[in-house]
C-alpha cells in the first residue's frame, strides 16, 4: 500500500475518533441510578411521619420527584433521601407505641419544614403538603413561623382537656360529640388568626403532646402521677399531699419512680403544658358547684355561652 494512502486512512481514523470523543464530551452525563432502598425508605418514613397511607399512584409520584433529584444532581436532596435508610432502621428498633408517639410529636416540625422548602421552590415538598391538607383541610391560615389550623390540631386540644379532667382532676367527663366538635372547630378558627407564629405552632403540637402524656402516664407509678397532678394544679387529698411532700423532701439527684426515658418524657410534657397553658388550656381550671363540673376560661376547647369547659 502506498505510504500516502496509509497516511490518509490513518488521518481519517484519528479524525473519526476525535469526533466521537468530542460528541461524548458534549452529550449530557448519564444520571446516577436512584438507590431503590432509599426510595422505599423515604416513602415509608414520609408516610409514617405525615400519617398518610400513600396509594400506588402517590408512591409512583414520589419516585418521580426523587428521580428528578438524581437527574439534576441535587446533592442536598439526594443526601436527605439517602439518610432515610438509616433513620428507618433506627425507627424500627423502637417499640411500636414509642415509635408512634415520636412520629406524632415530630409531625408539626416536619410540616413547618415542608412549608419552608415549598416556599423555596421544592416541588416535592409542595406536593406533600397538598396531599396532607387534602386529608386535613386548613381551617385557618398560618402566620410566619406557625402552622395552619386543622381539625386534627383542635382534636388534640380536646384530648388534652379530657385528660386534664379525667386524670389530673379525676372528674368524670364525656368525650365531645360531633356538634360540640364542630363548635370547637369554628371557635378555634376564629382565634387562630390572632395568634402569632409560635402560639400557632404550640397549637399544632397538642396532638403529639397528648399522645406523649398518655404514653408516659400509662408507665408512671402511682407516686409519679400524684406529683404530676400537683404540678398541673390537681387537687390531692391530705394523705396524698403528705406523700408527695415526703418524697420531694427526700428526693436526690437520682431519678426515682419512672425509668429515665419515661420520667423525661412526662416532665417535658408537663413543661410544655405549663409553658403554653394560656393557649392550650386557658387560664386555669376551677370547680363550679352550680354545674357540678370543672370549668375553665380561654383555651382551645369547646365553648358554651362564652365559657370554655372541659368536655
Distance, in Å, from the CA atom of 140 to the CA atom of 186, rounded to the nearest integer, reads: 10
Yes or no: say if 286 and 294 are a contact pair by the CB < 8 Å rule.
yes
The model's confidence at residue 295, banded by pLDDT at 50, 70 and 90, is low
Nearest C-alpha neighbor of 41 from the set 85, 107, 101: 85
Yes or no: say if 281 and 273 are a contact pair by the CB < 8 Å rule.
yes
Cell of 156: 388534640
Phi, psi at residue 282, to the nearest 5°?
A: 85, -165
**pTM for this model (two decimals):** 0.71
Strands (E), the chain: 285-288, 293-296, 303-304, 307-309
What Rg do the C-alpha atoms of the chain give, in angstroms? Answer: 29
Yes or no: say if 244 and 226 are a contact pair by the CB < 8 Å rule.
yes
Task: Inform me whether the pLDDT recorded for 125 exceeds 90.
Answer: yes
To which residue does cell 420520667 refer? 263
Yes or no: say if 215 and 102 are a contact pair by the CB < 8 Å rule.
no
Supply the pLDDT for residue 291: 56
Cell of 35: 438507590
Q: How many helices (H) and strands (E) does the chain have?
A: 14, 4
Supply the pLDDT for residue 154: 94
If you average pLDDT over residues 7-15, what whole number do you get?
44
**Dihedral Cα 101, 102, 106, 108, nearest 10 deg:** 10
Listed ranges 28-42, 111-125, 234-248; the one with the highest mean pLDDT: 111-125
To which residue does cell 428507618 refer? 88
Nearest C-alpha neighbor of 159 from the set 205, 209, 199, 210: 210
Lowest-confidence pick of 2-6, 30-34, 45-49: 2-6
Q: Give the 3-state secondary structure of residue 96.
A: helix
Tens digit of pLDDT for each residue in 206-242? 999 889 888 888 888 888 888 888 887 788 888 888 8
Lowest-confidence pick of 92-101, 120-129, 195-204: 92-101
Distance, in Å, from the CA atom of 294 to the CA atom of 285, rounded to the nearest integer, reads: 6
Tens digit of pLDDT for each residue in 264-273? 555 555 555 4
To which residue does cell 372541659 refer? 310
Phi, psi at residue 205, to the nearest 5°?
A: -80, -10
Distance, in Å, from the CA atom of 309 to the CA atom of 157, rounded to the nearest integer, reads: 12
Supply the pLDDT for residue 94: 87
To which residue does cell 381551617 refer? 139
Amino acid at each position: 500500500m502506498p505510504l500516502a494512502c496509509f497516511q490518509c486512512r490513518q488521518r481519517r481514523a484519528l479524525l473519526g475518533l476525535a469526533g466521537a470523543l468530542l460528541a461524548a464530551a458534549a452529550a449530557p452525563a448519564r444520571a446516577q441510578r436512584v438507590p431503590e432502598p432509599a426510595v422505599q425508605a423515604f416513602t415509608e418514613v414520609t408516610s409514617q411521619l405525615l400519617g398518610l397511607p400513600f396509594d400506588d399512584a402517590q408512591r409512583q409520584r414520589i419516585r418521580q420527584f426523587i428521580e428528578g433529584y438524581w437527574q439534576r444532581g441535587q446533592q442536598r436532596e439526594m443526601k436527605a433521601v439517602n439518610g432515610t435508610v438509616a433513620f428507618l432502621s433506627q425507627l424500627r428498633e423502637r417499640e411500636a407505641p414509642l415509635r408512634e408517639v415520636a412520629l406524632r410529636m415530630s409531625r408539626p416540625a416536619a410540616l413547618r419544614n415542608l412549608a419552608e422548602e415549598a416556599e423555596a421552590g421544592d416541588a416535592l415538598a409542595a406536593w406533600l403538603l397538598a396531599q396532607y391538607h387534602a386529608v386535613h383541610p386548613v381551617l385557618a391560615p398560618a402566620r410566619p413561623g406557625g402552622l395552619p389550623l386543622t381539625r386534627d390540631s383542635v382534636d388534640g386540644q380536646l384530648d388534652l382537656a379530657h385528660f386534664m379532667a379525667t386524670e389530673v382532676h379525676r372528674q368524670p367527663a364525656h368525650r365531645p360529640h360531633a356538634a360540640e366538635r364542630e363548635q370547637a372547630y369554628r371557635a378555634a378558627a376564629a382565634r387562630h388568626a390572632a395568634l402569632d407564629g409560635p402560639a400557632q405552632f404550640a397549637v399544632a403540637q397538642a396532638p403529639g403532646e397528648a399522645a406523649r402524656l398518655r404514653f408516659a402516664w400509662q408507665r408512671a407509678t402511682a407516686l409519679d402521677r400524684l406529683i404530676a397532678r400537683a404540678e398541673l394544679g390537681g387537687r390531692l387529698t391530705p394523705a396524698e399531699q403528705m406523700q408527695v411532700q415526703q418524697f420531694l423532701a427526700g428526693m436526690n439527684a437520682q431519678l426515682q419512680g419512672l425509668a429515665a426515658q419515661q420520667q423525661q418524657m412526662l416532665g417535658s410534657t408537663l413543661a410544655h403544658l405549663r409553658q403554653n397553658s394560656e393557649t392550650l388550656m386557658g387560664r386555669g381550671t376551677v370547680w363550679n358547684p352550680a354545674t357540678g363540673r370543672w370549668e375553665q376560661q380561654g383555651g382551645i376547647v369547646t365553648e358554651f355561652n362564652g365559657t370554655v369547659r372541659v368536655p
